[in-house]
């Protein structure tokens, strides 16, 4: 664990992998809920957790924390129905060296989890595919809301129409983001997720 200062009011904690980042994020949230940590934002990412709105003294304190590993899955997964009709299915199949029909099977079998959010409100980086996909060489100027896509080691669902460079494999009617709903985000860091075939 490496703790770095980020200006006057933030620290960045770097850990070994995504699982350690999830565990550290959970520990930070627990400490904040118990009044042991004052932080405005706790932002997990691939291998880091950023704490914003904190005292710089945390740089010395955090390495002494006991961060328990996350327990095996206890929460029910968020289920996202997907229609696999994306324009990049063939490209993903080519990269994975499988048939086009095999791509949905692989994605449906994956036990996914939200590693972190970013890019846009409600855009969750879902790990657990077990294989990687190169992003498109030139991003699309407009990807529709609900597009289910792959890039790097992650799967994701576009929460709103936006430019995007991920490989599109399908679409869902699930609204992963609705600012008027509470909670606005369907997929929060740490949540287990399963894709199912839309009826």
- In the complex, the residues that contact other proteins under the rule CB under 8 A are 4-10, 12, 25, 40-50, 52-53, 116-125, 160, 179-180, 184-185, 188-189
Shortest Å, Cβ 11 to other proteins: 8
The nearer residue to other proteins, 84 or 123, going by C-beta atoms, is 123
CB-wise, 105 or 161, nearer to other proteins? 161
Report the 10 Å Cβ neighbour count for 11.
22
For residue 63, give Cα distances in angstroms to 21, 53, 57, 58. 14, 18, 11, 9
Euclidean distance between CA atoms 61 and 139, whole angstroms: 42
Asked if residues 108 and 196 have their Cβ atoms less than 8 Å apart, the reply is yes
Which residue's CB is nearer to other proteins, number 89 or number 112? 112
- Decide: 102 and 93 in contact? Cβ < 8 Å: yes
In the complex, least distance from residue 146 CB atom to other proteins, rounded to whole angstroms: 16
CB nearer to other proteins: pick between 102 and 120: 120
The minimum distance between CB 130 and other proteins, in angstroms, equals 18
Q: State which residue, 16 or 73, has the beta carbon closest to other proteins.
A: 16
Minimum distance, C-beta of residue 196 to other proteins, in the bound complex (Å)? 23
Q: Where are the alpha helices (DSSP H) in 8-81?
A: 18-33, 58-61
In angstroms, give the least distance from the CB of 110 to other proteins: 20
Report which secondary-structure segment, H or E, holds 193: strand 192-197
CA 151 – CA 92 distance, rounded (Å): 10
Cα torsion 144, 150, 153, 157: sign: positive
């Amino acid at each position: 664990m490496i703790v770095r200062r980020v200006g006057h009011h933030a620290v960045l904690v770097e850990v070994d992998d995504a699982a350690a980042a999830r565990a550290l994020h959970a520990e930070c949230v627990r400490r904040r809920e118990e009044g042991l940590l004052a932080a405005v934002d706790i932002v997990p990412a691939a291998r880091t957790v950023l704490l914003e709105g904190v005292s710089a003294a945390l740089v010395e304190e955090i390495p002494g924390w006991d961060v328990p590993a996350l327990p095996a899955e206890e929460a029910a997964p968020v289920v996202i129905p997907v229609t696999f009709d994306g324009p990049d299915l063939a490209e993903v199949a080519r990269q994975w060296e499988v048939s086009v029909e095999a791509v949905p099977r692989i994605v449906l079998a994956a036990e996914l989890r939200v590693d972190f959010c970013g890019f846009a409100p409600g855009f969750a980086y879902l790990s657990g595919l077990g294989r990687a996909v190169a992003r498109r060489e030139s991003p699309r100027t407009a990807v529709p809301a609900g597009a289910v896509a792959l890039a790097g080691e992650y799967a994701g669902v576009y929460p709103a129409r936006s430019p995007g460079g991920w490989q599109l494999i399908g679409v869902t009617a699930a609204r992963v983001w609705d600012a008027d709903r509470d909670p606005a985000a369907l997929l929060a860091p740490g949540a287990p997720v399963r894709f199912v075939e839309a009826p």
